[in-house]
Structure 1
Amino acid sequence: MKHGKKYNDSIKLIDHLKQYDPEEAVDLVLQTGKAKFDETVEISVRLGVDPRHADQQVRGAVVLPHGTGRTIRVLVIAKGDKAKEAEEAGADFVGAEDMIQKIQQENWFDFDVCVATPDMMGMVGRIGRVLGPKGLMPNPKSGTVTMDIARAVNDIKAGKVEYRLDKTAIIHCPIGKVSFGKEKLQENLNVLMEAINKAKPAAAKGTYMKSVYLSSTMGPAVRVNPLKF
């Protein structure tokens, strides 16, 4: 793959044989995030678990202290008082059967997170085949199946992110934007890594955190020392 001049200049700043302290890594990502738009800063964590086993899954959600820099559109599937609660909390879309039909019939996905009350999950299950592959299926572990609708909406709007293993045992998660600066990115990074550490499955053997990389949207990846978390 051919890279541009900015990328090639940036890559010279990084020693790919070195594992940087988190503070140094954040600094380097900010130095190498040279795109004309406000790049997202993302972390990739390879874990020493086997995602094929149910008892070695790593999944959860955490509210980043400074958010992600993205405006998140929230769909709430609920009825009655819970629907009203969702509207008052600032949900972007609220409904029940009408929203499920809209997704089914119009292939509508103009939302980033779907929250549902437990009593609606039987109905939501009908569209699980389309929500699941897009990562939009409500789940109790991520706090998106709940009776506390107001809190769920407020947390998501405040910068709640979901982290989960992919098939290759890697977690990819945004921690903010280049414009956040070093301190805010560092605080978000620390909160996320603490949550991933706490989510270590009892069945995990050997080294839990195998490797950690930090990068901006268009910049090169910086290797971070996993022992520093």
Structure 2
Amino acid sequence: MSWHLGRLAGFDTETTGVDVETDRIVTACIVEVGGNTPPLTANWLLNPGVDIPEAASAVHGISTEKAKTDGQDAAEAIAELVAGLTQVVLAGTPLVIMNAPFDLTILDREARRCGVQPLTEVVGDELHVVDPRVLDKKVDTYRKGKRTLTDLCRHYGVKLDGAHSADGDAIATCRVAWRLGSQYPRLAELAVPELHKAQVEWHAEWAADFQEHLRKKDAKAVVDGCWPLRPVGGEG
């Protein structure tokens, strides 16, 4: 059975900003869907321990006051997140993450900050990720326009409930992955480990091409080609 017809686990975070090295997770969701099994959803609201900028609150709707009042201790929540993802990964379920280098990297840095063993150190080579952003760029490379989750949902005819909420985005990401697997047999026919390895190569190729394009105007432009996780210290 093709990977897109089996169980999928969507993962998404909403954060204090877009710097994976310094920003913090505010909300997170792990949702398991498909495989002829009822959905399972787990949500977290964290107290990140820092003020949430108004610009970030405007996106996900969580204010500093709400996070302080209702949010879980960050270290406790990060430990639960890593444990939850570990359980999913070791069960053989692929993680479906839109723009995986963001969410996996910020989780990795949060874990290290909180003294929690990072996910990749726990599960090692068992980690298999499906990233609709990478897949879409591979199968429809020259399509013009943006490729945010909202854009992909529109393009593939996927319903997006509660955009920029962790649970809404996680579910929609799984739906887009299912559409991609359904629409493109060359993706569906790959076993999950093969698909993961292919995405490493596809993202690196895209990054190199995009960097070359940018350097026509800026000789110092750099596009990170690491996927699905940016290594600590920017090495690799």
- When normalised by structure 1's length, the TM-score is 0.29
- Greater radius of gyration (CA): 1
Q: Which of the two has greater helix per residue? A: 2
Structure (1 or 2) with the greater strand fraction: 1
TM score, norm. by length of structure 2: 0.28
